[in-house]
């Protein structure tokens, strides 16, 4: 090891910035790499809020309840000890954000306000107007800037992370990255590397996420040996507003405030929605779920919309669209209850939702799965031991992962407002763990020969050269669009094995074609096409991991749904009824078989899939979920 | 037959910081709901100019596409603004796109706004903290009203539109510009952030500081988030005067 240890953090969203902060505080120099100034990271998109039990609303909220909600929300598919720490330390994370100066919304007493969010009964979500993610990101950015001023943090912004530098023992000793100005590739030494590169929703083409959420960096470390877990678990938000560039998020609050979802009864009806009389409209959620109507949970709503559109062919104008209609509500009511949210629709669609029904469709939104990470169990508390180099360590020694790109905490489904929390918390834990690792190494480590760095750099440079000189004819932007179409067609809200097989075939073809890209841009300066072409190649690799993981999991759990394997709750039957007991036995047997992490290893022949038990020591599943 | 509806762009391009600028025009089929970013994405996939010539795709910056990350600032029909929130239906055609002029050009519509981040360093745009560890208490209480004023400023995306519109700010001027001044005001109003008021005020009291503001008031007109930058500047005027007096007499 070099005389003075150094840590690299790749990604400067909430996860990366928290990690950097923790490392700098311990006096260890940290280098941050990001595609653009970190302040522009995707974390700024989060609107709703961040969960932590502060119990300021007289509801006797408890940390234990937060733990239970998180575990059950994720359908038990997450290692539970770290969830315990996540929820226990959440109030501390919020207090720290408060001290950083985050403009959290206040009660008349001047304390932090909290509101209700999906999937829970108590008001547990702290928020800053309608831009919570932006506010949290900026606060973390400011603190990191303070460390930058003190010379402890060095930022490499406008750099594309390309690969890890591994030594002959397979230990991570640095990275290579490309300067997005002159397109030169450099290798950088580090004693530990943390990837905090965010989500992967762009694999589905358009999503609610930002351009940076390609999953390409995660795909890169996966191809170098980091195990990937639970990739099949992707959250789809029922009310995305499809756009040509992205699907903006329409808040669930619209359904809460009386929004009705419908399609014309006649397939391909081209009339203006307001000209379609009541009796010719199909309010399918109200018809299919009379008890909840339009306010059914996210996953139920998404599946119903897909059924109406894809199975019944009733999408507006034959497209993947349904109406979310608020026009029956008085304007004043809507303005007071949903003001900012409706403004967003006006800004980006130029239409007034008070006058015209909005058009929505489920959209890829969040990835629960990600790079597999470890934790050190504290046998005494049943939680995660907080000071250990094992926490958030990937399967490559010296490499850590945090934020949305890791697989921890959310299991098969994420609760709203839990991921700003997990991104921040995991950044903190990963930062601490990387520090523990480099401190524990002492001076024993062998100096990494310059040639190892140079070889990896050269390998990446050859990658660039082969793309730049390729005389293929594939356009990387078109390839990405095709990949998204394929994934949205076959590995979406509803899945079946025949469809996923088609996706896998299609991905196989795309993989081949992606080797023959041709760039319209041959410049050696600020060549975005080159960087994009590389990212698309890696996104295709990760799409294969997602599809294959989904293909293998023959059950319904959280966001992963295959109708063929659905265990249906017997209607009108309860504990003690033979039908119910039979159902419960099946449910148990299914858990026996499937309550396991999907663990994927990269091989030359494609993804190799194994299963690993889940640590359910905090709250073992005993009864099936029952919302009746 | 009616003429086919198109989206017509006239884009100012430049291959790199030292190249010569040139104009290139593009036409694409009209479709409802396009904004400037989504149209540029289409052109990137189909990089053909009006003469039918295949060209290098236009380079630009964007990330969130929801007007919160500040990346996609450019001059659209003479106004500096966020491209993602510029709806084609609202724009007069041909739509003229130019890079911001007050920052070093990288390529085509992409510029380097590092100067703004450097300014944030200079003005110490953060609340001083002992560390990120828990100290088992919150920040001091903040009245809801005060919080909402701070919130106006905390939405600043460092997008640079106000800097572009400011007649006093340009590539060779020392003036720090309106956006960082808004951040001084914001941090000075925080109950513990104000412990570093003196540092921040000193940072804007010398050359290139507050007094370089010419009071043109262009900044507030173009801010995509309607941040009351001129109010901040007026307030900082009073704060710096007080600081100047303190410096004189309390030595
Ligand atoms: C519309 C929307 C609303 C949301 N609302 C909420 C909410 O209300 N509450 C909640 O809890 N969660 C919400 N989420 C989820 C939450 O915003 C994210 O999960 C979280 O912000 C992810 O943070 P991160 O630090 O992991 O990644 P990001 O913020 O995405 O940061 C990724 C970083 O990686 C860098 N990077 C990526 N690729 C490379 C590369 N090749 N080389 C170098 N650097 C790279 C980027 O530059 C960036 O700095 C929402 C998500 C969306 C899409």
Please indicate whether, in this complex, the C-beta atoms of B127 and A428 are within 8 angstroms of each other: no
Residues of B in contact with A523 (CB under 8 A): 15-16, 56, 107
Residues of A in contact with B42 (CB under 8 A): 244
**A387 reaches B (C-beta below 8 A):** no
* Residue B172: burial class (beta carbons within 10 Å; 0-12, 13-18, 19+): exposed
**pLDDT mean over B102-118:** 98
Domain of residue B31, CATH code = 3.10.20.30
The rounded Cα A129 to chain-centroid distance in angstroms is: 22
Domain boundary among B60, B87, B111: B111
CA-wise closest residue to A496 among A563, A412, A413: A563
CA pair distance A427, A12, nearest whole angstrom: 10
Residue nearest to atom 4 of ligand 1 (CA): A46
SS3 content of chain B, % helix, strand, coil (to 5): 35, 15, 50
Please indicate whether, in this complex, the C-beta atoms of A244 and B57 are within 8 angstroms of each other: no
Q: Note the pLDDT tens digit of each residue in B142-175.
A: 999 999 999 999 999 999 999 999 999 999 999 9
Q: How big is the CA angle at A33 (ends A13 and A415), to the nearest 5 degrees?
A: 20
What are the Cα distances from residue A308, in Å, to A234, A248, A288, A468? 21, 21, 11, 45
User: Does any ligand 1 atom lie closer than 6 A to the CB of residue A558?
Assistant: no
Query: Looking at the 3D structure of chain B, how many domains does it have?
Result: 2
The rounded Cα A162 to chain-centroid distance in angstroms is: 21
H and E: helices and strands count for chain A: 15, 21
CA pair distance B33, B122, nearest whole angstrom: 41
CA pair distance A399, A374, nearest whole angstrom: 11
Q: Indicate the top mutation candidate among A50, A139, A198 to test ligand 1's pocket, ranked by most ligand atoms within 8 A of CB.
A: A198
The rounded Cα A135 to chain-centroid distance in angstroms is: 19
From the list B15, B106, B137, the residue facing A95 with the nearest CB is B137
Residue B192 lies in a domain: yes
- What is the average pLDDT score of chain A? 94
- Give the SS3 label for residue B74: strand
CA distance A569 to chain B (A): 41
Under DSSP, the state recorded for A244 is S
B77 in the same domain as B141 = no
CA-wise closest residue to A244 among B29, B9, B31: B31
- Give the SS3 label for residue B17: coil
Residue B55 lies in a domain: yes
DSSP B21-50: -EEEEEEEE--TT-BHHHHHHHHHHS-B-T
For the sheet with A153-157, list strands across it. Answer: A153-157, A30-34, A7-10, A192-195, A399-401
Under DSSP, the state recorded for B61 is -
**pLDDT mean over A397-424:** 97
Domain boundary among B81, B111, B141: B111
Question: Band of the pLDDT at A255, cuts 50, 70, 90?
Answer: confident
CA distance B249 to chain A (A): 30
Please indicate whether, in this complex, the C-beta atoms of B90 and A111 are within 8 angstroms of each other: no
User: Does any ligand 1 atom lie closer than 6 A to the CB of residue A388?
Assistant: no
Atom of ligand 1 nearest to the CA of A36: 47
DSSP B114-153: HHHHHHHHHTT-S---S-SS--SS-PPP--HHHHHHHHHH
Please indicate whether, in this complex, the C-beta atoms of A99 and B66 are within 8 angstroms of each other: no
For residue A481, the chain B residue with the least C-alpha distance is B45
CA pair distance A393, A219, nearest whole angstrom: 17
B81 HSE (CA, 13 A, CB side)? 21
**A132 reaches B (C-beta below 8 A):** no
CA-wise closest residue to A150 among A246, A66, A28, A36: A28
Please give the structure tokens belonging to residue B77. Answer: 């029909």
B235 in the same domain as B163 = yes
pLDDT at residue A584 greater than cutoff 90 = yes
- Give the other-Cβ count within 10 Å of A470's Cβ: 15
B183 in the same domain as B95 = no
B236 in the same domain as B120 = yes
Domain of residue B148, CATH code = 1.10.1060.10
Please indicate whether, in this complex, the C-beta atoms of A146 and B141 are within 8 angstroms of each other: no
B159 in the same domain as B47 = no
DSSP A61-89: --HHHHHHHHHHHTTT-S-HHHHHHHHHH
User: Does any ligand 1 atom lie closer than 6 A to the CB of residue A217?
Assistant: yes
**Which pLDDT does position A3 carry in this prediction?**
64
The rounded Cα A134 to chain-centroid distance in angstroms is: 17
User: Does any ligand 1 atom lie closer than 6 A to the CB of residue A456?
Assistant: no
CA pair distance A28, A464, nearest whole angstrom: 33
Residue B186 lies in a domain: yes
**Structural domains of chain A in order of their starting residue, each with its CATH number:** 7-233+368-452 (3.50.50.60), 237-365 (3.90.700.10)
Residues of B in contact with A531 (CB under 8 A): none
The answer to whether A298 is a known catalytic residue is yes
Question: Band of the pLDDT at B192, cuts 50, 70, 90?
Answer: very high
B97 in the same domain as B62 = yes
For residue B133, the chain A residue with the least C-alpha distance is A96
Q: Note the pLDDT tens digit of each residue in A423-470.
A: 999 999 999 999 999 998 765 567 899 999 999 999 999 999 999 998
**Which pLDDT does position A624 carry in this prediction?**
84
Atom of ligand 1 nearest to the CA of A132: 8
**pLDDT mean over B86-97:** 97
Strand-pair category, A30-34 with A153-157: parallel
Q: According to the 3-state scheme, what is the secondary structure of A336-402?
A: HHHHHHHHHHHHHHCCCCCCCCEEEEEEEEEECCEECCCCCECCCCCCECCCCCCCCECCCCCEEEC
B119 in the same domain as B53 = no
pLDDT at residue B122 greater than cutoff 70 = yes
Beta-bridge mates of residue A314: none
**Which pLDDT does position A275 carry in this prediction?**
95
**pLDDT mean over A203-220:** 96
B140 in the same domain as B51 = no
Sign of CA pseudo-dihedral A592, A597, A598, A599: negative
Q: Note the pLDDT tens digit of each residue in A264-308.
A: 999 989 899 999 999 999 999 999 998 888 988 888 899 999 999
Domain region containing B207: 114-249
From the list B41, B147, B154, the residue facing A138 with the nearest CB is B154
CA pair distance B9, B16, nearest whole angstrom: 21
- Give the SS3 label for residue B199: helix
Atom of ligand 1 nearest to the CA of A51: 11
How far, in Å, from the CA of A501 to the mean position of ligand 1? 30
Residue indicated by tokens 């560390």: B131
pLDDT at residue B183 greater than cutoff 80 = yes
CA distance B107 to chain A (A): 7
CA distance B1 to chain A (A): 22
Q: Note the pLDDT tens digit of each residue in B212-227.
A: 999 999 999 999 999 9
What part of A 58-87 touches B (C-beta under 8 Å)? Answer: none
**pLDDT mean over A182-196:** 97
How far, in Å, from the CA of B81 to the mean position of ligand 1? 24
**Which pLDDT does position A266 carry in this prediction?**
94
CA pair distance A303, A307, nearest whole angstrom: 6
User: Does any ligand 1 atom lie closer than 6 A to the CB of residue A198?
Assistant: yes
For the sheet with A596-603, list strands across it. Answer: A370-371, A228-229, A596-603, A606-613
How far, in Å, from the CA of A216 to the mean position of ligand 1? 14
- What is the average pLDDT score of chain B? 96
B139 in the same domain as B195 = yes
What are the Cα distances from residue A83, in Å, to A64, A90, A392? 10, 10, 13
* Whole-complex ipTM: 0.98
CB A129 within 8 A of CB A51: no
Domain boundary among B80, B111, B142: B111
CA pair distance B204, B70, nearest whole angstrom: 24
Atom of ligand 1 nearest to the CA of A48: 8
Q: Note the pLDDT tens digit of each residue in A74-123.
A: 999 999 999 999 999 999 999 999 999 999 999 999 999 998 887 788 89
CB B112 within 8 A of CB B171: no
Share of chain A above pLDDT 90, in %: 87
Ramachandran region of residue A411, left (φ > 0), alpha (ψ -120 to 50) or beta? left
B199 in the same domain as B97 = no
More confident call, A196 vs A338: A196
Residue B50 lies in a domain: yes
Residue B1 lies in a domain: no
How far, in Å, from the CA of B104 to the mean position of ligand 1? 28
C-alpha dihedral (B53, B59, B63, B69), degrees to nearest 10: -130
CB A282 within 8 A of CB A265: yes
Sign of CA pseudo-dihedral A395, A396, A401, A404: negative
Strand-pair category, A7-10 with A30-34: parallel
CA pair distance B39, B35, nearest whole angstrom: 6
**Which pLDDT does position A130 carry in this prediction?**
87
What part of A 96-125 touches B (C-beta under 8 Å)? Answer: 96, 98-112
C-alpha dihedral (A109, A113, A115, A121), degrees to nearest 10: -80
For residue B147, the chain A residue with the least C-alpha distance is A103
How far, in Å, from the CA of A325 to the mean position of ligand 1? 30
B134 in the same domain as B69 = no
Which position among A22, A298, A414, A557 bears the catalytic label?
Answer: A298
- Give the other-Cβ count within 10 Å of A505's Cβ: 13
Q: What is the pTM of this model?
A: 0.97
B187 in the same domain as B121 = yes
Which residues, in sequence order, are CB contacts of B157 under 8 Å at separation 6+? A39, A40, A44, A134, B67, B68, B69, B70, B224, B225
pLDDT at residue A1 greater than cutoff 50 = no
**Which pLDDT does position B212 carry in this prediction?**
96
**Which pLDDT does position A339 carry in this prediction?**
75
* Residue A313: burial class (beta carbons within 10 Å; 0-12, 13-18, 19+): exposed
CA distance B26 to chain A (A): 16
């Amino acid at each position: 090891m070099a005389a003075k240890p150094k840590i690299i953090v790749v990604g400067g969203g909430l996860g990366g910035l928290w990690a950097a902060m923790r490392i700098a505080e311990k006096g260890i120099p940290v280098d941050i790499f990001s595609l653009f100034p970190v302040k522009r990271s995707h974390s700024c998109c989060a609107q709703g809020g961040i969960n932590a039990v502060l119990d300021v609303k007289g509801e006797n909220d408890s940390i234990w309840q937060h733990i239970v909600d998180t575990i059950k929300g994720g359908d038990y598919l997450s290692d539970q000890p770290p969830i315990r720490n996540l929820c226990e330390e959440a109030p501390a994370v919020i207090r720290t954000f408060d001290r950083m100066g985050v403009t959290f919304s206040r009660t008349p007493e001047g304390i932090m306000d909290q509101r209700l969010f999906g999937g829970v009964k108590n008001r547990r979500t702290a928020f800053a107007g309608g831009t919570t993610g932006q506010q949290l990101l900026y606060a973390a950015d400011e603190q990191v800037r303070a460390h930058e001023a003190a010379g402890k943090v060095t930022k490499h912004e406008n750099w594309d992370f390309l690969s890890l530098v591994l030594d002959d023992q397979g230990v991570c000793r640095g990275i290579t990255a490309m300067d997005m100005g002159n397109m030169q590739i450099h290798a950088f030494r580090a004693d530990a590397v943390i990837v905090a590169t965010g989500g992967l929703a762009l694999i589905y083409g358009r999503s609610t996420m930002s351009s940076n959420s390609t999953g390409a960096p995660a795909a890169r470390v996966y191809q170098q040996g980091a195990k990937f877990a639970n990739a099949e678990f992707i959250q789809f938000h029922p009310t995305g507003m499809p756009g040509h560039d992205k699907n903006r998020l329409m808040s669930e609050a619209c359904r809460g405030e009386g929004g009705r979802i419908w399609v014309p009864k006649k397939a391909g009806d081209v009339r203006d929605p307001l000209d379609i009389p009541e009796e010719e409209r199909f309010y399918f959620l109200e018809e299919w779920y009379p008890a909840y109507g339009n306010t059914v949970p996210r996953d139920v709503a998404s599946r119903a919309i897909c059924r109406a559109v894809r199975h019944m062919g009733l999408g507006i104008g034959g497209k993947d669209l349904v109406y979310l209609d608020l026009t029956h509500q008085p304007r004043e009511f809507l303005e007071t209850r949903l003001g900012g949210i409706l403004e967003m629709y006006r800004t980006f669609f130029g239409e007034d939702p008070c006058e015209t029904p909005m058009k929505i469709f489920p959209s890829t939104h969040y990835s629960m799965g990600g790079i597999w990470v470890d934790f050190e169990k504290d046998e005494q508390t049943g939680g995660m031991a907080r000071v250990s180099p094992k926490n958030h360590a990937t399967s490559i020694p010296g490499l850590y992962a945090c934020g949305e790109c890791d697989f921890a905490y959310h299991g098969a489904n994420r609760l709203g407002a839990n991921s700003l929390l997990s991104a921040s918390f995991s950044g903190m834990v990963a930062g601490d763990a990387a520090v523990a690792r480099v401190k524990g190494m002492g001076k024993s480590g062998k100096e990494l020969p310059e040639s190892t760095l140079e070889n990896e750099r050269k390998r990446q440079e050859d990658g660039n050269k082969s793309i730049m000189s390729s005389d293929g004819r594939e356009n990387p932007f078109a390839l990405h669009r095709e990949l998204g179409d394929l994934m949205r067609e076959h590995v979406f809200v509803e899945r079946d094995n025949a469809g996923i097989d088609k996706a896998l075939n299609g991905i196989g073809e795309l993989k081949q074609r992606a080797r023959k890209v041709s760039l319209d841009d041959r410049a050696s300066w600020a060549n975005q096409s080159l960087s994009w072409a590389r990212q698309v190649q890696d996104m295709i690799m990760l799409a294969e991991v997602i599809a294959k993981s989904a293909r293998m999991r023959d059950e319904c759990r959280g966001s992963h749904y295959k109708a063929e394997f659905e265990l249906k709750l017997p209607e009108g039957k309860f504990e003690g009824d033979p039908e119910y007991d039979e159902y419960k036995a099946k449910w148990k047997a299914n858990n026996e078989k499937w309550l396991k992490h999907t663990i994927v290893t990269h091989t030359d022949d494609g993804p190799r899939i194994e299963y690993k038990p889940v640590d359910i020591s905090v709250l073992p599943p005993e009864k099936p979920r029952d919302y009746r | 037959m009616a003429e086919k509806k198109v989206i017509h762009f006239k884009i100012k391009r430049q291959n790199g910081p030292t190249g010569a600028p040139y104009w290139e025009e593009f036409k694409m089929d009209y479709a409802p709901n396009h904004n400037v970013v989504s149209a540029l994405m289409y052109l990137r996939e189909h990089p053909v100019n009006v003469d039918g010539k295949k060209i290098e795709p236009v380079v630009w910056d964007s990330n969130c596409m929801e007007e919160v990350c500040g990346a996609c600032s450019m001059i659209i029909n003479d106004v500096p603004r966020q491209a993602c929130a510029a709806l084609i239906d609202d724009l007069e055609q041909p739509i003229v796109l130019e890079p911001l002029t007050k920052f070093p050009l990288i390529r085509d519509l992409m510029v380097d706004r590092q100067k703004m981040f450097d300014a944030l360093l200079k003005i110490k745009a953060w609340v001083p903290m002992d560390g990120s560890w828990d100290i088992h208490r919150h920040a001091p209480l903040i009245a809801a009203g005060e919080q909402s004023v701070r919130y106006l400023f905390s939405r600043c995306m460092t997008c640079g539109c106000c800097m572009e519109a400011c007649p006093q700010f340009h590539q060779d001027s020392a003036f720090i510009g309106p956006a960082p001044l808004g951040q001084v005001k914001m941090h000075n109003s925080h109950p513990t952030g104000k412990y570093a008021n003196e540092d921040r005020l000193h940072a804007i009291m010398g050359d290139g500081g507050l007094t370089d503001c010419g009071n043109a008031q262009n900044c507030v007109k173009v801010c995509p988030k309607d941040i009351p930058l001129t109010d901040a500047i007026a307030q900082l005027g009073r704060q710096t005067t007080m600081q100047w007096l303190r410096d004189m007499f309390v030595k």
